[in-house]
Amino acid sequence: MQSLRWAWGYIRKYKMRMFFGLALVLLVSTLNMANPYLAGRIVDDVIYGNNRSLLWPMLGLMVGCTVIRTIVRYGYQLMFENISQNVIFKMRENLFERLMGLDFSFYDRTKTGDIMARMTGDMEAIRHFTAWTIYMIVENVTIFIFAVTFMFSIHVPLTLAILVVTPIIGFFAFRLSNDVKPTFTEIRNQFAKLNSVVQENISGNRVVKAFAKENYEIEKFSNENETFRARNLQSARIWEKYLPVLDSLAGVLTVVMILTGGIMVINGSLTIGELVMFNSLIWALNNPIRSAGWLINDVQRFIASAEKVEELLLTKSQIINGNHQNVQEKQADIEFDHVYFSYGNGPALEDISFTAKPGQTIAIIGPTGSGKSTLVHLLNRFYDVTEGAIYVGGRNVKEWHLHQLRSSMGMVMQDIFLFSDTIEGNIAYGSPNASIEAVQIAAGQAEAHEFIASLPDGYDTIVGERGVGLSGGQKQRIALARALLKNPKVLILDDTTSSVDMETEERIQKTLNSIQEGKTCFIIAHRISSVKEADLILVLNNGRIIERGTHDQLLMQRGYYYNVFQNQYGNFDIHLMAGM
Amino acid sequence: MARNKFNVDEELETPFSIAHLKRLLVYVKPYKTKIMITVLIMLAASGANLIGPYLIKQAIDKEIPGKNIEGLAALSGIYLVALTVTGICMKFRIRMMSQIGHSVIKNIRRDLFTHLQKLSFSFFDSRPHGKILVRVVNYVNSLSDLLSNGLINLITDLFSLLVIIGFMFSINAKLTLFAMAGFPILALIIFLIKNAQRKAWQNLSNKQSNLNAYIHESINGIKVTQAFVREEENKKIFHGVSNGYKTSWLKAVRVHFLLWPAIENISVLTVTLIYVLGVGMIGNGITVGALVAFVGYIWMFWTPLANIGNFYNAIINASAYLERIFEMMDEKPEISDRPNAKELPIIKGKVEFDNVVFGYETTTRNLNQISFKANPGESIAIVGPTGAGKTTIVSLLSRFYDIGSGEIRIDDMNIETVTISSLRKQMGVMLQDPFIFSGTIIDNIRYGRLDASDEEVIAAAKAVQAHPFISQLKQGYYTEVNERGSVLSNGQRQLISFARALLADPKILILDEATSSIDTETELALQKGLETLLAGRTSFIIAHRLSTIQNASKILYIDKGMILEEGTHDELIRLRGLYWKLYSSYYSSLRAI
Ligand SMILES: Nc1ncnc2c1ncn2[C@@H]1O[C@H](COP(=O)(O)OP(=O)(O)OP(=O)(O)O)[C@@H](O)[C@H]1O
Ligand SMILES: Nc1ncnc2c1ncn2[C@@H]1O[C@H](COP(=O)(O)OP(=O)(O)OP(=O)(O)O)[C@@H](O)[C@H]1O
Ligand SMILES: [Mg+2]
Ligand SMILES: [Mg+2]
């Protein structure tokens, strides 16, 4: 019921058209009566009554009704398709909008295949429902009601006798509805799993091949594939239990009709013509009852899917948008004030405090898993701090409008993601209106122009999913260009040059220095060469800042940083430098 | 090989032909006994069904005018029995239909997936993954209607058509012939709309694929989208893609729905014809009751016909998916075992590149005349600027791509002459882009060697210094990670895929920037442990941090796809060439200090 109400929220907009469509359905149902009625009249008046002159008008009516009926029916079928496509379109758009707005922690815990299942399989079930099931239900119900009314108008006692069977039918229909629902939920859940296992196999295809694990993958897949079949069969088990019962009970109506009707004719309380008319109307009771079982299945399938879609639509982002929108010069001022953060299982960051002024570079260094990426993710409000506060431009990040906040920052994430689009499209991702010249300048700053220009298709080269077709360092530089093109006030480089050779890195750093005026720059790196120029170096360990200062200060402290330096440069043979 | 994007329709290489249907029948064949039995049962059911009008005719023509209540009751009894039979048959049919339909779907999907595993990188690299996914999952599902309902209905409908025609003949042959006058007209109409219908459905399947691709990529790239505040722009794009789907859907149904009005109108016209003729024939070769029965049959006669029309529509619809499915099944793997390929015996680990030339595309040349030799147990470091071709060299070793000319030999065997799986099973590869599967950490490491015990997994994790952080997690090795390893930091992901490569216990170990995101301390600790682990293995190490590779047996300096320098660290330093320059630049930045 809840799902129906939810769907109604979308359909409501097409209420008028829907009602008009339903009126047409009614019209068609009425016209549906025409043929059997006319057939009855032909039998009664023309054949038995020998009134031949009526034959042609009646046949003409029959053809006319059919032509009108099929045209109207075609019309409302398209109309319902139209409505359902619009409804689905809107739902899909809302879903997409929701997906765009959901926070990182949602994506951390949700599988792509699961979301895909909702966007495809579940939407398909909903489409089927709005395009087909709804009007089938209405059509069947109206046909049924009409036939019953019509029958009452012919002969009340016989109609009553026929209807005696219906409560039993209702009982079985109810049972079916109850039993079949969970099986549809299981089918769609398994569909999501199937989606996930295939999805992951495709994205992990390199690893699968590298380890020659094709057979293992096939086995893993076959399990889910087989379960999917089993879930479907399990559902069919329920249908096979109830649908035949409903079907046979529908036939029982006919038996009741011919038996009681026949007796009534023999008694003289009914004419043979009336019985024939009943006979030609009885399908209008049979068919809706026959369809009822299938329609109940459809409804339950719809509910199983709608619940999932609705659930996704109701998922709230934990990041609540602020409303401060002023474009401020000071946006490059950053302050961490006793920041604590946890992903939910133990602290990831503890008591982080520091400030950064425009033009400054803050470097972060520290062991794997110490919380470096986490720290910069807080800046963009990908996650919210657990305790303490972060100020950007003197204002708590929570007060900023997210778009404003994030627009001012250019981030190169550690796990580079490029879209399957042209290189130009990828660099211009954050500034879709940028000119090709601007794109080239940004590429040049990121030391990427040269290699892009050397590609056969240059900036129009299409890269594959996640940037396949490019080397590791090339991907990083394109991601860097993408961030630079935004001309951000805060530039965040998370391990951006790890796959770039020293010489290229050095050139990049020079360029960055030259454009840094007024920008705050965060650099996460493991190489001393990448961080040594920074105005402030933070050494993170286990989520805490254990050392801070400039390169020289830190070397003097002889702590963690000093050790790293020794490891990287300690055994360098200084004499080699002679002659350089 | 032009890459495909989400907003570009894929070209169809093998358009639909009747051969596709034959191929579909191959999947149905194993179930032919089941189908036969079901058809027989359905025949019984339609017999029982068809008896209805006959019984009613008997009642109206004979029993009721004859005021024979007992006869009427007997007829009703027979009717009830017939209904029970129909019910039982229906139960059986539902069971059989779903079994056959879902088994066929399962088998098609299995074959498609199995074939997918044989396809090379270039297949996956040349199109959005969402477009592959949609074929395996959604397209195959679209066949279910056709298979589970269509096929058996078709057969039974054909039979009931015959039976009805038989009944009609038994009543009056001449009228029956007239009743079939509608067939040719129907055939003509079907022929006329066929092309438009095909094109519309094809177009739709393309749009569905595009939509899927866009959704898929949007989910995967969501973090970038949010970081770059691209949400609004993407919504606009999505609006366009989604609208494309909607429009082509509506176009398709517009043609699709034409069939039924055609059938109904033709049917009513034939009925009219029969009335006219029949009424004229009353008393003149036909009784009133017979005419009533005949007309009853002729209405019934069009129901299976409409169903067959439905089936036809379903096939036209499904062919748009079938052709895509079979196209993928026919996709030739670029890399496959040669017909006489041998198993690669357990190797010692000697590797030779002999004048290897390679380009990712026919028009480009990414590696030029690469020749070098690695003896068993040696460690070869590959250095050079970004984009030089380092990753390319090692991926040729696993035969991820076939080379243009030259030869790659392992233990003096050309790798193209051995089976791919025997080759790859002896290598442990750590790819530059670490991939983590959803599941537990322990399963992820175990992916390297499925029969490894927990202890072995932990040993591998310890060797790469992953043990400390894993054991700090609440569920330790049994911590669930999501796809691509959210929950883990990048360095942690690298360590896990490193452990995975090591666990494979390979004779040849390939580490492509295995430690680029790992801090120096961990790296050093790792290297110490690694020395023993590398003993007896030939290893290839790619790194930009030169401190990592100084002890290598041999260093190859690569640029622009060529080996420019080759030798040990000391030799190359003495050479004062490119490696020396690279090495110095590594430190020169510190000169000021
Ligand atoms: N989405 C997440 N959910 C739960 N835990 C997480 C998540 N992301 C990271 N962690 C954990 O938080 C800690 C810090 O991770 P973070 O990515 O910030 O490390 P890092 O310092 O950037 O490391 P690296 O140098 O390897 O990139 C790690 O222990 C990691 O396992
Ligand atoms: N799948 C592919 N299709 C087409 N070209 C490719 C593909 N993969 C890499 N290339 C190109 O081949 C060249 C060599 O790339 P490769 O990945 O071998 O570089 P690399 O030396 O590993 O660089 P890095 O240090 O940046 O990882 C690059 O110019 C790259 O653009
Ligand atoms: Mg990180
Ligand atoms: Mg590489």
Residue B270 predicted with pLDDT over 50: yes
Residue A375 CA to ligand 3 centre (angstroms): 9
Top-confidence residue, A443 or B10 = A443
CA angle centred on B32, ends A247 and B81, rounded to 5°: 30
Mean pLDDT of chain B: 86
Cross-chain CB nearest to B64 (options A120, A272, A477)? A272
Using the beta-carbon criterion (under 8 Å), do A502 and B586 form an inter-chain contact? yes
pLDDT of A138 reads: 82
Cross-chain CB nearest to B87 (options A247, A419, A568)? A247
Cross-chain CB nearest to A262 (options B63, B95, B576)? B63
B1 in A contact zone (CB under 8 Å): no
Atom of ligand 2 nearest to the CA of B392: 18
- Chain A residue numbers touching B235 (CB-CB < 8 A): 93, 96-97, 100
What is the distance in angstroms between the Cα of A118 and the nearest Cα belonging to chain B?
11
pLDDT digits (tens, 9 = 90+) for B75-120: 889 989 988 988 998 898 888 888 888 999 999 999 999 999 999 8
Atom of ligand 1 nearest to the CA of B489: 17
- Chain B residue numbers touching A67 (CB-CB < 8 A): 265
Using the beta-carbon criterion (under 8 Å), do A101 and B67 form an inter-chain contact? no
pLDDT digits (tens, 9 = 90+) for B35-51: 888 888 877 887 777 78
8 Å CB contact between A473 and B387: yes
In this structure, what is the dihedral angle of CA atoms B305, B306, B307, B310, given to the nearest 10 degrees? 130
Residue B302 CA to ligand 2 centre (angstroms): 64
Residue B392, ligand 2, Cβ within 6 A: yes
First to last CA, chain B: 51
Cross-chain CB nearest to B292 (options A43, A239, A568)? A43
8 Å CB contact between A448 and A477: yes
Give backbone dihedrals phi and psi of A94, rounded to 5 degrees, phi first.
-65, -40
Output the DSSP codes for B132-191: HHHIIIIIHHHTHIIIIIIHHHHHHHHHHHHHHHHHHHHH-HHHHHHHTTHHHHHHHHHH
- Chain B residue numbers touching A369 (CB-CB < 8 A): 469, 488-489, 491-492
Top-confidence residue, B171 or B380 = B380
Residue B389 CA to ligand 4 centre (angstroms): 7
Residue A470, ligand 2, Cβ within 6 A: yes
pLDDT of A577 reads: 45
**What are the angstrom distances between the C-alpha of B121 and each of B129, B133, B402, B424, B481?**
12, 15, 11, 14, 25
Separation between Cα atoms, residue B446 and residue B503, nearest integer Å: 7
Using the beta-carbon criterion (under 8 Å), do A198 and B584 form an inter-chain contact? no
Residue B498 CA to ligand 4 centre (angstroms): 16
Protein residue whose Cα sits closest to atom 16 of ligand 1: A371
Residue B386, ligand 2, Cβ within 6 A: yes
**What are the angstrom distances between the C-alpha of A414 and each of A27, A186, A467, B516?**
64, 38, 14, 11
B532 in A contact zone (CB under 8 Å): no
pLDDT digits (tens, 9 = 90+) for B411-458: 989 999 999 888 998 888 888 888 888 889 999 999 988 898 999 999
- Chain B residue numbers touching A380 (CB-CB < 8 A): 226-227
* Placement of tokens 């330790």 in the chain: B476
Mean pLDDT calculated for residue range B52-70: 82
Mean pLDDT calculated for residue range B204-209: 90
Which band of pLDDT confidence, cut at 50, 70 and 90, is reported for residue B14? low
Residues 6 or more apart whose CB falls under 8 angstroms from that of A579 comprise: B576
Using the beta-carbon criterion (under 8 Å), do B386 and A504 form an inter-chain contact? yes
8 Å CB contact between B379 and B541: yes
Q: Which ligand is nearest to the CA of B441?
A: 1
Which band of pLDDT confidence, cut at 50, 70 and 90, is reported for residue B15? low
8 Å CB contact between A455 and A471: no
Separation between Cα atoms, residue B430 and residue A207, nearest integer Å: 9
Using the beta-carbon criterion (under 8 Å), do A229 and B223 form an inter-chain contact? no
Residue A107, ligand 1, Cβ within 6 A: no
* Placement of tokens 């952080």 in the chain: B469
- Asked if this assembly's ipTM is beyond 0.85, the reply is yes
- Chain B residue numbers touching A43 (CB-CB < 8 A): 288, 292
Output the DSSP codes for B449-507: -TT--HHHHHHHHHHTT-HHHHHHSTTGGG-EE-GGGTTS-HHHHHHHHHHHHHHT--S
Top-confidence residue, B316 or B393 = B393
What is the distance in angstroms between the Cα of B528 and the nearest Cα belonging to chain A?
13
Residues 166-205 of B with CB under 8 A from A: none
pLDDT of B590 reads: 58
Protein residue whose Cα sits closest to atom 17 of ligand 1: B489
Residue A469, ligand 2, Cβ within 6 A: yes
Please name which of B291, B289, B273, B272 lies closest in space to residue B281, comparing C-alpha atoms: B291
B529 in A contact zone (CB under 8 Å): no
Q: What is the pLDDT along chain A (580 residues), one digit of tens a residue?
A: 788 888 888 888 888 888 888 888 878 877 877 877 787 777 777 777 777 788 888 888 889 988 998 999 899 889 889 999 999 999 999 999 999 989 888 988 888 888 999 999 899 999 989 888 887 888 888 888 888 998 899 888 889 988 888 899 999 999 999 999 999 999 999 999 999 999 999 988 888 888 888 899 999 999 999 999 999 999 999 999 999 999 889 889 888 888 888 888 888 888 888 888 888 788 888 888 888 888 999 999 999 999 999 999 999 888 888 777 776 666 778 999 999 999 887 889 999 999 998 888 999 999 988 999 999 999 989 999 999 999 988 888 888 888 888 888 889 998 889 998 899 999 999 888 889 999 999 999 988 898 899 888 889 888 888 888 898 889 999 999 999 998 888 999 998 888 888 888 888 888 888 888 888 999 998 888 888 888 999 999 989 999 999 988 888 888 888 888 888 777 655 444 444 4
Q: Which ligand is nearest to the CA of A472?
A: 2
B389: closest chain A residue by CA: A471
Residue A429 CA to ligand 3 centre (angstroms): 23
Give backbone dihedrals phi and psi of A547, rounded to 5 degrees, phi first.
-145, 150
* Three-state secondary-structure class, residue A261: helix
Residue A449, ligand 1, Cβ within 6 A: no
pLDDT of B519 reads: 83
- Chain B residue numbers touching A402 (CB-CB < 8 A): 229
Pocket test of ligand 1: the residue of B473, B489, B496, B545 to mutate, having most ligand atoms within 8 Å of its CB, is B489
pLDDT digits (tens, 9 = 90+) for B147-190: 766 777 787 788 778 888 888 888 888 888 888 888 888 888 88
**Domains of chain A with CATH codes:** 2-314 (1.20.1560.10)
pLDDT of A538 reads: 92
Residue B329 CA to ligand 4 centre (angstroms): 31
Separation between Cα atoms, residue B285 and residue B344, nearest integer Å: 85
Residues 6 or more apart whose CB falls under 8 angstroms from that of B449 comprise: B456, B503, B504, B505
pLDDT of B589 reads: 58
**Domains of chain B with CATH codes:** 18-330 (1.20.1560.10), 336-426+509-521+541-593 (3.40.50.300), 435-505 (3.40.50.300)
Residue B512 CA to ligand 2 centre (angstroms): 12
Protein residue whose Cα sits closest to atom 1 of ligand 1: B487
What is the distance in angstroms between the Cα of B216 and the nearest Cα belonging to chain A?
7
